[in-house]
Amino acid sequence: MVKFYIDGKEVVANRGETILQVARREGIYIPTMCYLSKVKPIESCRLCVVEVEGVEGFVLSCQTPATPDARITTDSKELYEHRQNIMKLYDVNHPLECGVCDKSGECDLQNKNLEFRVDSQEFSARDQYRPIQDWNYLQYDPSLCILCEKCVHVCNEVIGDDAIEIEYGGYKSRIIPKDAETLDCTWCGECVAVCPVGAFISKDFKYSANAWELDRIPAACAHCSASCHLYYETKHSSIENPEPKIYRVKNEFEFETLCGAGRFGFDFENREAKKDEEAFKRAIEAFKRADTIKFTSFITNEEALLLQKMKERFGYRLVNDEARAYQRFLENFSQYSGKSLYTPSLYDIEDSDFIILMGSFISSDNPAVRYAMTVSQKRHRSEIVNFHPVEDDLLKPVVTKFVKHEVGSEEAALSMLVDILCDEDAKKRAGKEWLESFDIGYLSAESNIGEEEIEDILKRLKMKKRRGAKRFTLILGEDLYTHPRAENLAKLAGLVDRFSEFDVMLIPPKTNTLGVALICDLDEEEGEFSIGYNQKGDFTLSALGDGDLDMPALNQQEGTFTNIDRRVVPTNVALPYEGYVLNDIAKELGVSDKEYTIEYTKELPKEKGYKEIEFDELDNEFLNDGTEKRGYELEIKKVNLSRKNIEPIEELPEFNGTVIYRCEPVLQFSPFTNKAHQLRTKGKLYASETFLNDLGLKEGDKVNIQKDNITISIEVERDGFIASGAYLGRFDKNIDTESLFKDYRFTEVKIQKV
């Protein structure tokens, strides 16, 4: 804690906090062009210089930590003049195309020129030809670029793609794809978000609207369980068509990071929906007939509560396989960890010094976790160990140790981790049987995890601890929940959480899996007549617009999600919806007496940690210093520990032949992302180079994937981001991948070239 003074005001800085950070927190204004709070100070703009008493010259406030009792002046005549001169230099040869520039109206350069009253440019430099670069979803215009480097830093420090860099050349400097002809990255579009001028823009949005025309609707991203905060920006579709349309997505880029699916996959709304009374009547009849409701986790907490209420009233079976698996995993985990929920949040991951990731293809399962890991790697040089059968090259700059294990041997891996991470108490708790079955030689041989690899992890862990590491996180993913031995895995995870320094995080696989798992009482078996909600059933309610009755998509609904941070976050209606909603059905059935679905927000089950807060009272913003004020966090309750011993480790399953994985390609999460016009693509079998070579396939070949008596005909595409294996996604609803992957995310298939 350092006490000092800014403009006479006494302020206190925490350790390592810079002058600018303190000033921002205290609401004192220091102008900047290149400062971005989520990355390291960039120091290219030099606008944030301040005067310090007793120091000759100006001191850069963005990177200088405060010294005790320093007296700092943020504004003076000299400072103003120099800042003004800097702005003049920024204006040298900056094209005067504000008229068409997409950024006009929210452009930092415009704002600062106005602020420093630069209304004319008195010198110029010889100009040069700088063509606009066209990079898939993005465009880069070097002549507009002021080289603040925000994009480069965010790509390197937060995203982890490290896909762009500056081609140094003084006045000729520009942004170029790193080590490549053209940009090939995960298309998070964060460079567009952080660009203070119009140099980086979204090609789709280009020239279609101006900043000031768009209405901002704060919402939560509906694609994955990170439920990132974002704004849908809407405007009428065209002069002829007054219907509002989402033009783009923006985010609070200073504090938060969106992935490409969130940024470019925004128009997944159900456009066709009308109040079709006939269909509604049929739906009510179907509900009267049905004994099962099948649904996915692409619903809000309130809808989940409605489904639960229907179940309580009519005894429906609620079937949601993925949430059910997660629910059971969480329950078993709780019984051994003693906590009703996992504790770490994405912020904790960012602060972790040692992270072990297991059972998740994180770059497509949950990019937010990947970004958090990148931040921890870059900021704390954390050790990141990834256990997975599929090598993900995207994680290469992030992961410090990759442990490739055999498909299906997660139990072995987790057991070995328990062995090295936990103390003797844990082993005692695990029980004699388990301990007896723990034969490291056998496990190592079968899982292909070398003992020396485990030792190396231990060595790294010790090294980290010597260097004063404090936070350790074990992140577990969907592979484990769907694993045939999920129950045991959950218990082992519980042990790790309880008996080691490691905190365990269980990534919810889908948008609101955590919410559904907490709110709904899920069933295993389907009945005779089922109603599917965003899922095929005998009668289908669908937000995709292909069912028997239309439902609103998540950008047409208000409500809350329970996200990966265990936070209940609100989302709002971006686009109007004409048709019926679930609450209408519930009202018709006599289950609901509320007019709006959001009236249920305060009725979410308190025993699960929800709070009795009205929807309209939920915050949805970030404070000046980056504090997230969105909704509220679920309360973690104490759970009675189970006294049962953990079952012995079973013989590890063997997967021979061709094994494929179930995950989505980058930028896809579900049929909803695939519905968005920018992301729309055909489902393919994505395979690594080695996989293709092994099977003698080429990109573009058609293959038949066979399992039991199911055959899927599909095209093959090479995915350069994975170094081994192949995967199939579920985002293309025309391809029935469901039947291939009954439980586990890996499956043995036969692949034949057609």
Partner 1 sequence: MGSKVYFSTWKDEFIDNRGKPREEWAESNYNFPVQYNADIESKAFIGWAGLALFDEDVDVIKLATEYAYQYQVYSEACGRCAPGRWGGRILYDLFDKIARGEGEWGDVEHLKEVSSTMIETSKCEIGKTVPKPLLDVLNYFEDEIRELIEQKRPSKYYNDENINYISKVTAPCMDACPSHVDIPAYIEGVRDLRFDYSVQATRKTMPLAHTCGRVCPHPCEDECRRANLDEPISIMELKRVGADFETDHGLFWLHPKEPKPLNGKKVAIVGAGPAGLTGAYYLAMEGVASDVYDELPVLGGEVAVGVPEFRMPVDKYNVDIGAVGSLEGVNFITGKRVTADDMREFEKNYDAILIATGTRISKKIRAKNEREEIRGYWPAINFLDCINLYVKYGIPAPKEILEKNNLPTDKPYVDLTGKTVVCVGGGFTSLDVVRCAVRANADKVVMLYRRDEATIIKNTTYEEYHEAVEEGVEFIFYSAVEEIITDENDNLKALKINRFELVPDPDGGRPQLKKIEGADFVMECDILVPAVSQSADLSHLPPEWEIELTSWGTIKTDGKTYMSSRKGVFAAGDCEYGPMTIVNAVGQAKRAASVMSRYVQSGEITLTDEEIMEDHLRSLKVYDKKEKIRGWMPGLPRQKGEILSVEERKHSYLEVNLGLTQEQAVAEAERCMRCYYIAMVAV
Partner 2 sequence: MNGLEQFKDRNVSQNYYRVKIEPYPKTPWERFKRVVRRSLRLELFVGLKITLMEMLRFKIHTIQYPKEKLPISPRYRAVHKLLRLLESGNERCIGCGLCEKICISNCIRIDTRPDENGRKIPTEYTINFGRCIFCGYCAEVCPELAIVHGQDYEHASEQRAQFALKEDMLTPLDKLKEQKEYPGFGAPTPAADKLIKKTPLAY
Q: Which of 110, 111, 143, 210 binds partner 2 (CB under 8 A)?
A: 210
Applying CB under 8 A, among 56, 122, 277, 595 the residue interacting with partner 2 is: 122
**Selected binder of partner 1 within 77, 117, 126, 638 (CB under 8 A):** 126
* Burial (CB count within 10 angstroms: exposed 0-12, middle 13-18, buried 19+), residue 511: buried
Burial of 599: CB neighbours in 10 Å, binned 0-12, 13-18, 19+: middle
- Minimum CB distance to partner 2 smaller for 127 or for 614: 127
Stretch that binds partner 2, among 1-9, 204-212, 384-392, 621-629 (CB under 8 A): 204-212
**Residue 40, contacted partner among partner 1, partner 2, none, CB below 5-8 A by kind:** partner 1
Q: Is 104 in the site for partner 2 (CB under 8 A)?
A: yes
R_g of the chain computed on alpha carbons: 27
> Is 399 a binder of partner 1 (CB under 8 A)?
yes
The least CB distance from residue 271 to partner 2, in Å, is 19
Pattern 460-499, partner 1, x by CB under 8 A: ---x--xxx-------------------------------
With contacts defined by CB under 8 A, name the span among 152-160, 199-207, 252-260, 332-340 that binds partner 1: 152-160
Q: Are 261 and 223 in contact (CB under 8 A)?
A: yes
Looking at 9-17, 96-104, 352-360, 434-442, which segment touches partner 2 (CB under 8 A)?
96-104
* Alpha carbon distance 497, 512 (integer Å): 23
**Least distance to partner 1, CB of residue 53, Å:** 11
Residues 483-512 that bind partner 2 (CB under 8 A): none
Least Å distance between CB 414 and partner 1? Answer: 24
Dihedral angle of Cα 422, 424, 428, 434, to the nearest 10 degrees:
60
CA gap 556, 558 in Å, rounded: 7
Q: How far apart are CA 137 and CA 135, in angstroms?
A: 6
Q: Is 694 in the site for partner 2 (CB under 8 A)?
A: no
Backbone angles phi, psi at 104, to 5 degrees: -50, 130
Residue matched to tokens 């406030």? 61
Q: Which of residues 379-398 bind partner 1 (CB under 8 A)?
A: 379-381, 396-397
Hey, which residues does 72 pair with through a beta bridge?
A: 6, 52
Count of residues in the chain: 754
Among 15, 117, 126, 466, binds partner 2 (CB under 8 A): 126
- Binding flag, residue 168, partner 2 (CB under 8 A): no
Neighbours of 368 (CB within 10 A): 25
Q: Is 170 in the site for partner 2 (CB under 8 A)?
A: no
Using CB distances below 5 to 8 A depending on partner kind, what does residue 378 bind out of partner 2, partner 1, none? partner 1
Residue 274, contacted partner among partner 1, partner 2, none, CB below 5-8 A by kind: none
Distance CA 335, CA 329 (A): 10
| Binding flag, residue 240, partner 2 (CB under 8 A) | yes
Residues 265, 223 contacting (CB under 8 angstroms)? yes
Burial of 496 (0-12, 13-18, 19+ CB in 10 A): buried
Tokens standing for residue 403 = 């442990």
Cβ 174 to partner 2 shortest distance, Å: 18
Report the residue from 12, 100, 463, 710 that binds partner 2 according to the rule CB under 8 A. Answer: 100
* Residue 238, binding choice from partner 2, partner 1, none, Cβ under 5 to 8 Å by partner class: partner 2
**Which does residue 128 touch among partner 2, partner 1, none (CB within 5 to 8 A, set by kind)?**
none
User: CA–CA distance from 220 to each of 299, 562, 605 (Å)?
Assistant: 12, 11, 21
Is-contact 166 175, C-beta < 8 A?
yes
The answer to the question of residue 53 lying near partner 1 (CB under 8 A) is: no
Ordered DSSP codes for 126-187: -----PPEEETTEEE-TTT-----HHHHHIIIII----EEEE--GGG-EEEETTSSS--S--
Residue 572 contacts partner 1 per CB under 8 A: no
Contact 365, 352 (CB under 8 A): no
Residue 129 interacting with partner 1 (CB under 8 A): no
Q: Could you tell me the smallest distance in angstroms from the CB atom of residue 250 to partner 2?
A: 18
Based on the shown chain and the rule CB under 8 A, indicate whether residue 207 belongs to the binding site for partner 2: yes
Among 21, 32, 133, 156, binds partner 1 (CB under 8 A): 156
Long-range contacts of 654-658 (CB under 8 A, 24+ apart): 654/408, 655/406, 655/407, 655/408, 655/746, 655/748, 656/748, 657/748, 657/749, 657/750, 658/695, 658/748, 658/749, 658/750, 658/751
Please state, in angstroms and rounded to a whole number, the distance separating the CA atoms of residues 87 and 519. 55
Instruction: Decide whether 174 or 602 has the Cβ nearer to partner 1.
Output: 174
Give me the residues paired with residue 3 across strands: 12
Q: Distance from first CA to last CA of the chain, Å, rounded?
A: 69
- Interface residue with partner 1 among 25, 103, 153, 427 (CB under 8 A) is 153
Q: What residues make contact with partner 1 under the rule CB under 8 A?
A: 16, 33, 40-46, 49, 52, 55-60, 63-65, 67, 70, 82, 85-86, 89-90, 92, 122-126, 146-147, 149, 153, 156-157, 165-166, 168-173, 378-381, 396-397, 399-400, 463, 466-468
Q: What residues make contact with partner 2 under the rule CB under 8 A?
A: 98-100, 104-105, 120-127, 132, 206-210, 212-213, 236, 238-240
